Amino acid sequence: MHMNAQADTAAGPQTHEFQAETKQLLRLMAHSLYSNKEIFLRELISNASDAVDKLRFEAITHPEWLGTAVLSVDLVPDPDAGTLTLRDNGIGMSREEVIENLGTIAHSGTKKFLESLPETDRGAREQIGQFGVGFYSAFVVADEVEVVTRRAGTDTAVRWVSSGEGGYTLEDAARDAPGTDVILHLRSEEKEFLDATRLRHLVQRYSDHIGVPVRLCLRGNEPDTLNRAAAFWTRPKTELKDEDYQQFYTHLTHDHEAPLAWAHHRVEGTLEYTSLLYIPAVAPFDLWDRDQKHGVQLYVKRVFVMDRAAELLPNYLRFVRGLVDSADLPLNVSRELLQGNRAVEKIRAALVKRVLDLLDTLAKDKPDDYEKFWSLFGTVFKEGIVEDATNKERIAKLCRFTTSTHSDKPVTGLDDYVARMPAEQKGIYYLNADSVTTALASPHLEGYRAHHYEVLLLGDRIDEWFVMHLPEYAGKPLVSCESGAADLAPVVETAEQTRLEGDFKDVLERLPKTLLGRVSAARLSKRLTESPACLVSSDDGMSRHLERILRDAGQTQLGKVESVLELNGSHPLVKRLLDAKDAAFVDLAEVLYGQAVLAEGGQLEDSAGFVKHLNALILGTSTAAAPSILLPD
């Protein structure tokens, strides 16, 4: 177990130590939150409101758990005792749950967050805002926190007490009804949080959108509801301001950066539901975690039923946050039931459309924000080309690329590209590489540059699949610069080409024998202007980059894929092949092949061999007759 229980007498409190991570979080909290200390109230109200939501949900199967009292979150300031109590009649916690929830950081997201923390405190301070600070924020204003709680469906209560340093104590307690009291013993300098006006103001500022009534309970007065207490998304759009949407987003996601965009819709008819979808301005740290479910929250008739309902949106839209409140699903809906449910399928299709509409508008009206969206989520979004055949065109339109002529940022859409195409250009050209930088340096671009043709530089892994699933756009075929079939008009003049073909006939026949097993054919290139050589895939073969990805992924049964070596007949190094004899020819062939592999970001199978051949050429030791390549003729 993670805590050290020192067994006391049966009646007295038991002392427990906090888990190491909890201590770490508490320390961080004290240092980083002070300037924003009032958010403890939002955090504790949010927990209490979650507890009420959970009770409503569990009461579907245990109706007797709902008493006659209104479900609410009450704020009870006590100036004499110097305490502020947050009282809810929600689900409560059992002894085990208290240990689990308040003594350890069980919440897997929180744990991962802590693991991902940078070494320095400063980085942590910046990140902590992105992530819900939760219960422990209470210690920013209180030097002692007491929790008295009773789980619905049980008779016994438990008291948890801690000063937020080494650990906490636990003992049996009494509570009339299920629910939780969080009693904050405020530090002497924090007594402002006993003030009714201050509390009212804070609740309206941070917790107005909470669906549960948050009430101020002053001694001798009737409880006074401070917030609107209607589920935020049920309110008419006309009544809601940007700040309201932003505030609700913070409540929903614990993300303190304002979202880039949102869409709020109410649908009535054969299906009845409300959706509220947000595009975040920061990527969650678990975006790439395959085990982590992503998705929006699901409510059924205002009752919260599921977090991260991945079934409501396709995987490529997993960055979207928000919620759906459906009137057509049963309250006891399970994940299994969501799969293949007709209503869910219809909602899902509509949500996809909404997100795409939202992104269209963002791209059109706020290009800077769209750029931000793309840098955060572009690689995820591109998966849509593979995953969502129905919306392929729309997805393609929203994709952004780095190109050979606009290479500093991925801002070029396919529509921009097509609009810039010279009249005679036939296809949309692209080049796959391990990174945009490698692509930009590739010899394959040379001929396209000479023609002033723009080339999409694809550096993400998903891009190989992207182009496979998008054979054309706007009636133009997507063509790889690297494949032998690229239909580029020759850069070299025809007469010159014919003359070179004659000169190089023997060399071209000899090369595949010298480079046996790696090169199936050699030919003169019409595309190279500066580099001496490059490799292309044979016309029917798999792209060389894809082959490399598959091989890196451990696909060893691929077999040997041979490439075509293309030579630049005007390059001095290549011309040297014409006169090279035996050993010198081999050295030259190996060096030309090796640098073609390196130029596309590939790995040499025999790098020591390559170096030997290269040194022999430089030193002129291949044969007595071979001059050094470093000396001018």
The contact set with ligand ADP (CB under 6 A) reads: 43, 47-48, 51, 88, 90-93, 101-102, 107, 132, 134-135, 180
Q: Do 473 and 447 form a contact (C-beta atoms < 8 A)?
A: no
Question: Which one of Mg ion, ligand ADP, none interacts with residue 90, CB within 5 to 8 A by kind?
Answer: ligand ADP
CA separation for the pair 567, 417 (Å, rounded): 29
**Cβ 70 to Mg ion, closest distance in Å?**
22
**Cβ 23 to Mg ion, closest distance in Å?**
19
**Cβ 160 to ligand ADP, closest distance in Å?**
10
Q: Which is nearer to ligand ADP, 102 or 279 (by Cβ)?
A: 102
**Cβ 59 to Mg ion, closest distance in Å?**
21
Q: Do 146 and 185 form a contact (C-beta atoms < 8 A)?
A: yes
Q: Which is nearer to Mg ion, 47 or 480 (by Cβ)?
A: 47
**Cβ 46 to ligand ADP, closest distance in Å?**
7
Question: Which one of Mg ion, ligand ADP, none interacts with residue 568, CB within 5 to 8 A by kind?
Answer: none
Ramachandran category for residue 367: left, alpha or beta (phi over 0 → left; psi -120 to 50 → alpha)? alpha
Q: How many residues of this chain bind Mg ion (CB under 5 A)?
A: 2
Report strand pairing: 428-432 vs 455-458: parallel
Q: Which is nearer to Mg ion, 42 or 576 (by Cβ)?
A: 42
Q: Which is nearer to ligand ADP, 93 or 216 (by Cβ)?
A: 93
Question: Which one of ligand ADP, Mg ion, none interacts with residue 93, CB within 5 to 8 A by kind?
Answer: ligand ADP
Over the window 123 to 152, marking each residue x when it contacts Mg ion by CB under 5 A and - when it does not, the resulting string is -----------x------------------
| Helices vs. strands in the chain: H and E counts, helices first | 21, 22
**Cβ 216 to Mg ion, closest distance in Å?**
21
Ramachandran category for residue 320: left, alpha or beta (phi over 0 → left; psi -120 to 50 → alpha)? beta
Question: Which one of ligand ADP, Mg ion, none interacts with residue 107, CB within 5 to 8 A by kind?
Answer: ligand ADP
CA separation for the pair 15, 161 (Å, rounded): 9
CA separation for the pair 43, 133 (Å, rounded): 7
224 forms beta bridges with: 216
The stretch among 42-50, 285-293, 493-501, 620-628 that binds Mg ion (CB under 5 A) is 42-50
Question: Which one of Mg ion, ligand ADP, none interacts with residue 515, CB within 5 to 8 A by kind?
Answer: none
Q: Cα 100 to the chain's mean position, in Å? A: 29
**Cβ 88 to ligand ADP, closest distance in Å?**
5
Q: Which is nearer to ligand ADP, 75 or 507 (by Cβ)?
A: 75
Any idea what DSSP says for residue 280? Answer: -
CA separation for the pair 565, 523 (Å, rounded): 6
State the residue for tokens 């940022």.
409
- DSSP string over 567-582: E-TTSHHHHGGGT--H
Instruction: Look up residue 8 and give its two tokens.
Output: 């006391």
Q: Which is nearer to Mg ion, 134 or 178 (by Cβ)?
A: 134
- Of 576, 422, 405, 426, nearest in space to 503 by CA: 576
Q: Which is nearer to ligand ADP, 306 or 455 (by Cβ)?
A: 306
Q: Which is nearer to ligand ADP, 67 or 367 (by Cβ)?
A: 67
Question: Which one of ligand ADP, Mg ion, none interacts with residue 51, CB within 5 to 8 A by kind?
Answer: ligand ADP
Q: Do 256 and 130 form a contact (C-beta atoms < 8 A)?
A: yes
**Cβ 124 to ligand ADP, closest distance in Å?**
17
Question: Which one of ligand ADP, Mg ion, none interacts with residue 536, CB within 5 to 8 A by kind?
Answer: none
Q: Rounded to 5 degrees, what are φ and ψ at 427?
A: -120, 175
Report strand pairing: 476-480 vs 402-403: unpaired
Q: Which is nearer to Mg ion, 212 or 279 (by Cβ)?
A: 212
Question: Which one of Mg ion, ligand ADP, none interacts with residue 101, CB within 5 to 8 A by kind?
Answer: ligand ADP
Q: Which residues contact 466 (CB under 8 A, 6 or more apart)?
A: 382, 385, 386, 399, 458
- Of 125, 127, 97, 170, nearest in space to 27 by CA: 125
3-state secondary structure 465-499: HHHHHCCEECCEEEEECCECCCCCCCCCCHHHHHH
Q: Do 333 and 303 form a contact (C-beta atoms < 8 A)?
A: no
Question: Which one of ligand ADP, Mg ion, none interacts with residue 180, CB within 5 to 8 A by kind?
Answer: ligand ADP
Q: Rounded to 5 degrees, what are φ and ψ at 494?
A: -60, -45
Q: Which is nearer to Mg ion, 253 or 525 (by Cβ)?
A: 253
**Cβ 223 to ligand ADP, closest distance in Å?**
18
- Look up residue 10 and give its amino acid: A
Positions of E strands within 408-549: 428-432, 455-458, 472-473, 476-480, 519-524, 533-537
**Cβ 91 to ligand ADP, closest distance in Å?**
6
**Cβ 595 to ligand ADP, closest distance in Å?**
55
**Cβ 133 to Mg ion, closest distance in Å?**
8
- Of 382, 454, 452, nearest in space to 418 by CA: 454
Question: Which one of ligand ADP, Mg ion, none interacts with residue 566, CB within 5 to 8 A by kind?
Answer: none
Question: Which one of ligand ADP, Mg ion, none interacts with residue 211, CB within 5 to 8 A by kind?
Answer: none
Question: Which one of Mg ion, ligand ADP, none interacts with residue 91, CB within 5 to 8 A by kind?
Answer: ligand ADP
Residue with the CB atom nearest ligand ADP in the bound state: 134
Q: Which is nearer to ligand ADP, 138 or 589 (by Cβ)?
A: 138
Q: Which is nearer to Mg ion, 111 or 426 (by Cβ)?
A: 111
In the sheet that holds 402-403, the strands lie side by side as 402-403, 455-458, 428-432, 476-480, 472-473
Question: Which one of Mg ion, ligand ADP, none interacts with residue 48, CB within 5 to 8 A by kind?
Answer: ligand ADP
In the sheet that holds 14-17, the strands lie side by side as 14-17, 167-173, 157-162, 142-150, 179-186, 83-88, 73-78, 214-216, 224-225
**Interface with Mg ion includes 253 (CB under 5 A)?**
no
**Cβ 1 to ligand ADP, closest distance in Å?**
18
Q: Which is nearer to Mg ion, 47 or 425 (by Cβ)?
A: 47
Q: Which is nearer to ligand ADP, 93 or 500 (by Cβ)?
A: 93
Question: Which one of Mg ion, ligand ADP, none interacts with residue 396, CB within 5 to 8 A by kind?
Answer: none
Q: Which of 32, 47, 110, 537 binds Mg ion (CB under 5 A)?
A: 47
Residue 523, Cβ density class (10 Å: 0-12 exposed, 13-18 middle, ≥19 buried):
middle
Q: Which is nearer to ligand ADP, 72 or 180 (by Cβ)?
A: 180
Q: Which residues contact 381 (CB under 8 A, 6 or more apart)?
A: 316, 317, 319, 374, 395, 398, 399
**Cβ 47 to ligand ADP, closest distance in Å?**
3
**Cβ 44 to Mg ion, closest distance in Å?**
8
Binding site residues, Mg ion, CB under 5 A: 47, 134
